[in-house]
Amino acid sequence: MRKKDQGSHSEAIEELSRLTGGLAHEMKNPLSTIKINLKLISEDLDKTDPKLARPLRKLAVVQKETDRLAQILDDFLRYAGRTELQPVTADINELVGDMVDFYMPQAQSHSITMRFGPCKERLMCRVDTVMFKQVLLNLFINAQQAMPGGGELIIRTHKKKHDTVIEIGDTGTGIEPDRINKIFDAYYSSKLSGIGLGLPTAQKIITQHGGSIAVSSEVGRGTLFTIHLPMIKE
């Protein structure tokens, strides 16, 4: 593709992203109104009246699907948005440790044991701490979903040349070879729930930080995500 054609293509993609993002924003307002009115209708109906049992069940289905649509829009806006990083100098060990502590109760409630092995050295990087923690949360949730019967979630940090390396591994079901190259594709998901934007969003955030994220997996044994972030000199 010629440079001029590449520029036109990029501009078209950017314009499409802007339009779809605007459309998603416009959809959120009427959707919020629908959710509020569904809640008010539910509160007004007599739940003890047997004649209303079927309408109440149908109403609950509509409420559930409305909530799901709202989540889809939120996920899309998070993925498609032009997010400006607000980087600060931070020790990755501390950020990862904070998220391990935060997620521990959720993991334990699903019979998952979390193990954290931090690097003995400080791992200083320039990161947007909110976004970086969102990446970790996405990967923790992904690991949990891969271990429906429980297991181990193992997190390690270490230094490799000029990079900080974060490894997040699970003992879950693993990823089939024909799927592993697709997991960072937007809207690709093998799960019954979710729309497949968690991992693409994580990749987008890490790439914006000048880093990389890779995955390796073995069916029946588990999956390992490896993040590289450039270190800074203290």
What's residue 193's pLDDT? 43
What's residue 13's pLDDT? 44
Rounded to a whole number of angstroms, the distance between the first and last alpha carbons of the chain is 43
Q: Domain residues for 63?
A: 3-80
Distance, in Å, from the CA atom of 168 to the CA atom of 170, rounded to the nearest integer, reads 7
What's residue 122's pLDDT? 94
- Whether 157 and 226 share a structural domain: yes
pTM over the 0.75 mark: no
- Whether 194 and 96 share a structural domain: yes
For every one of its 234 residues, what pLDDT tens digit does the chain have, with 9 covering 90 and above?
454 454 554 455 455 555 655 666 677 778 888 888 888 888 888 888 888 888 889 998 888 888 878 776 766 666 665 567 889 999 999 999 999 999 999 999 999 999 999 999 999 999 999 889 989 988 998 899 999 999 999 999 999 989 999 999 999 999 888 888 888 776 545 553 444 567 888 888 899 899 999 999 999 999 999 999 999 976
What's residue 6's pLDDT? 45
Quick one: DSSP state of residue 121? S
- Whether 151 and 180 share a structural domain: yes
Specify whether the CB–CB gap between 44 and 167 falls below 8 A: no
Last residue of a domain, one of 13, 46, 80: 80
What's residue 195's pLDDT? 45
- Whether 60 and 157 share a structural domain: no
Residue with tokens 């181990």: 152
Residue with tokens 């990755």: 92
Nearest by Cα to 61 from 33, 42, 40, 88: 42
Distance, in Å, from the CA atom of 113 to the CA atom of 124, rounded to the nearest integer, reads 27
- Whether 173 and 121 share a structural domain: yes
Distance, in Å, from the CA atom of 84 to the CA atom of 201, rounded to the nearest integer, reads 14
Number of domains, the chain: 2
Last residue of a domain, one of 61, 80, 99: 80
Residue with tokens 């950020």: 95
Nearest by Cα to 150 from 111, 117, 177: 111
φ/ψ region of 172 (left if φ > 0, alpha if ψ in -120 to 50, else beta) reads beta
What's residue 140's pLDDT? 94
Nearest by Cα to 89 from 130, 53, 138, 124: 124
- Whether 118 and 148 share a structural domain: yes
Provide the β-strand partners of residue 167: 156, 226
What's residue 75's pLDDT? 65
